[in-house]
A and B are shown apart, each in its own frame.
Chain A
Amino acid sequence: MSDNDELQQIIDGCKNGSEESFSRLVDIYSGRCYGFFYRLSGDRDLSDDLLSELFVRLVEKISTYKGGSFGGWLFTTAYNIFQDYLRGKHRRGKLLEGRRDLVELEQAAGGKDDDEVMDELQKQLSKLDSEAKELILMRYYGQLSFKELSEARGEPIGTVLSKVHRGLKKLRARMETFRYGQRRY
């Protein structure tokens, strides 16, 4: 049985209300969805909440999946959950606070270990425009092809290709600058 057939079987099981199928879906996608939320928010606690919200919401929403790229559909749903979160005024304040704390933490840290490099990627990613960031993260964590990404976003493939290319080029340049700065000091 191919991976696609197996995934389709799991999705069908979820639509029929099988707890085991949902459990398998969580096992397959929780890591990538968590990474997606973490890269979007920069906050582990918030990523915990959003991941939980995503799978609980899927119980009701899975019936609306009518075929096509499941990854594209799932990560679009995940992004919508993140957007819903941002729309909440109360929580938005908390997110900004969390980001400020993260930046302060990075500035205060003296060592230059792997964790710090990971946070630097997070920091540089947050400086990208939100659309480019969203596309880059959806493609990477959703493991989507450009065709799937353009279908999920409802945009022409050339537009998606161009936005992702520009965004990644900018991100890489900023990370290089950061590394160069580290070597100098």
Chain B
Amino acid sequence: MGKEDIKGLFERFCSSDKAEQSAEEIRAGEQLFSERRSPEPGVELIAEIKSKVGRRLAKRVRRQIAYKAVAAAAAVLVFGLSIWFWSFERVESPIQHSISYSSKMPMAVWDSNDIITGDTKLAFANSELERIKEEVHSAGFGEPDIKVEEALFKLENELLAVNGNFWKE
């Protein structure tokens, strides 16, 4: 305030002479306050203010401690709840299990009503059974060019082979 160039400030807005006069008027106006000093606060008042400030500071510190304690408790609660939800999801959720089991089944089973066309292994087993069925049928009707005993032996072997292959796979 004291070192401020008031005249320079006024010169931005008016002539140098006018700026000089205005700066002088400001100085003279402020001189009124210096000549007539306002009353000072009493010593008791200052002591009382300091005491009040001290009490307020102590309250502020207590409040900060309380906020920190509440924040820590809230953090523990949130952590505990998140752990509880996580474990609940792992143990109880039936959705998780159905997804994992169902994913092991061929997609064709879900896409088609005919499960044999959707699974190559089942299709192979099915074709074998169809062929054996035909051979049994032809043996049963006693077709002249097939010997019955030979056919039954062959059929038995094939059934064993199909059975073995099926369970192997």
Q: Do A and B bind each other?
A: yes
* Chain B 42-76 residues near chain A, CB threshold 8 A: 42, 45-46, 48-50, 52-54, 56-57, 60-61
Judge whether B4 and A60 touch: CB under 8 Å: no
A152 at the interface (CB under 8 A from B): no
Judge whether B1 and A17 touch: CB under 8 Å: no
**Of A34, A51, A121, A158, which is within 8 A of B33 by CB?**
A121
Judge whether B54 and A44 touch: CB under 8 Å: no
Which among B1, B2, B61 has the highest number of chain A CB atoms within 10 Å? B1
CB neighbours of B89 from chain A (8 A): none
**Of B10, B28, B56, which is within 8 A of A172 by CB?**
B28
**Of A117, A157, A172, which is within 8 A of B36 by CB?**
A117
**Known contacts A146-B9, A168-B32; 18 further A-B pairs (Cβ under 8 A):** A17-B61, A22-B50, A30-B41, A34-B39, A38-B39, A47-B39, A48-B42, A48-B45, A59-B60, A140-B30, A143-B1, A143-B2, A147-B4, A157-B9, A168-B28, A168-B29, A169-B29, A175-B32
B132 at the interface (CB under 8 A from A): no
Q: How far is the CB of A10 from chain B (nearest CB, A)?
A: 13
Contact with B along A137-176 (1 / 0, CB 8 A): 0011001111100000000011001101101110110010
Judge whether B52 and A56 touch: CB under 8 Å: yes
Which among B29, B45, B61 has the highest number of chain A CB atoms within 10 Å? B29
**Of A52, A60, A168, which is within 8 A of B49 by CB?**
A52
CB neighbours of B139 from chain A (8 A): none
Task: Provide the bound-state CA to CA distance between A39 and B42, in Å.
Answer: 16
Residues of B within 8 A of A (CB): 1-2, 4, 6, 9-10, 12-13, 22, 25-26, 28-30, 32-33, 36-42, 45-46, 48-50, 52-54, 56-57, 60-61
CB neighbours of A38 from chain B (8 A): 38-39
Q: Majority SS of interface residues in chain A?
A: helix
A177 at the interface (CB under 8 A from B): no
A131 at the interface (CB under 8 A from B): no
9 nearest A-B pairs in the assembled complex, by CB-CB distance = A168-B29, A35-B38, A34-B41, A59-B56, A118-B36, A143-B1, A145-B4, A121-B36, A38-B38
CB neighbours of B4 from chain A (8 A): 145-147
CB neighbours of A44 from chain B (8 A): 39
How many chain A residues touch the partner (CB < 8 A)? Answer: 46
Q: Majority SS of interface residues in chain B?
A: helix
Task: Provide the bound-state CA to CA distance between A168 and B29, in Å.
Answer: 5
Task: Provide the bound-state CA to CA distance between A48 and B2, in Å.
Answer: 28
Which single residue of chain A is at the shortest CB-CB distance from B64? A17
A79 at the interface (CB under 8 A from B): no
Judge whether B49 and A19 touch: CB under 8 Å: no
A82 at the interface (CB under 8 A from B): no
CB neighbours of B42 from chain A (8 A): 48
Judge whether B22 and A39 touch: CB under 8 Å: no
Task: Provide the bound-state CA to CA distance between A31 and B33, in Å.
Answer: 14
